[in-house]
Amino acid sequence: MAWVIWLAAAILLAVVEVLAVDLIFLMLAGGALAAAAAAGLGAPVWAQVVIFGVVSTVLLVAVRPWALRAFRRSVPETATNVAAHVGRTAVVLLDVSAHAGRIKLTGEVWTARAENPAAVFPAGTLVRVVRIEGATAVVEAAGPADDPPPPD
């Protein structure tokens, strides 16, 4: 009967891994599967716990780093949230200076300021987002190679 408990634990850990995607719970699920196999072969409970601990540790130390590298190579990292706006072009709505201004970025109106304290961008100018600080986009002049933002 102990093997059923270990198998249920392995399934539960695998489900948690699907939500976390960090490969930690998957390694623990591997340890639980090894303990389930030991329980199925009639090992005492203390041996099952030791097998769970040893196999989980080996998987975490030896397999997880390799698996994470392979996973990160195969899945491109995508910028999300405000990080996705860095490098995009925007249109100045209200003159942007080092202190204040407004831009239209991906269809939304943002507070903006110029990165260069001496720069002033008049309304209608194309600018490029350098970084986002809080709810303010820090911008610079858009180069000639920058594409204009899509129409809204």
Instruction: Please compute the mean of the pLDDT values over residues 69-79 and round it to a whole number.
Output: 74
* Residue 114 CB partners (closer than 8 Å, separation 6+): 96, 97, 98, 101, 120, 121, 138, 139, 140
pLDDT in tens, 98-127: 998 999 988 889 999 999 998 999 999 999
103 lies in the same domain as 128: yes
Rounded to an integer, the average pLDDT of 66-93 is 80
Domain check: are 13 and 61 in the same one? yes
What total number of domains does the chain contain? 2
89 and 67 in one domain?
no
The predicted pLDDT at position 77 comes to: 65
Mean pLDDT score, 68-87: 76
Residues 8 and 67 both lie in one domain: yes
The answer to whether the Cα torsion of 85, 87, 92, 97 is positive or negative is positive
pTM confidence score: 0.53
Q: What is the mean pLDDT of residues 27-38?
A: 96
Q: Give the residue from 41, 74, 107 where a domain finishes.
A: 74
Q: Is residue 151 part of a domain?
A: no
Q: What is the pLDDT of residue 134?
A: 86
Range of the structural domain that residue 40 is part of: 2-74
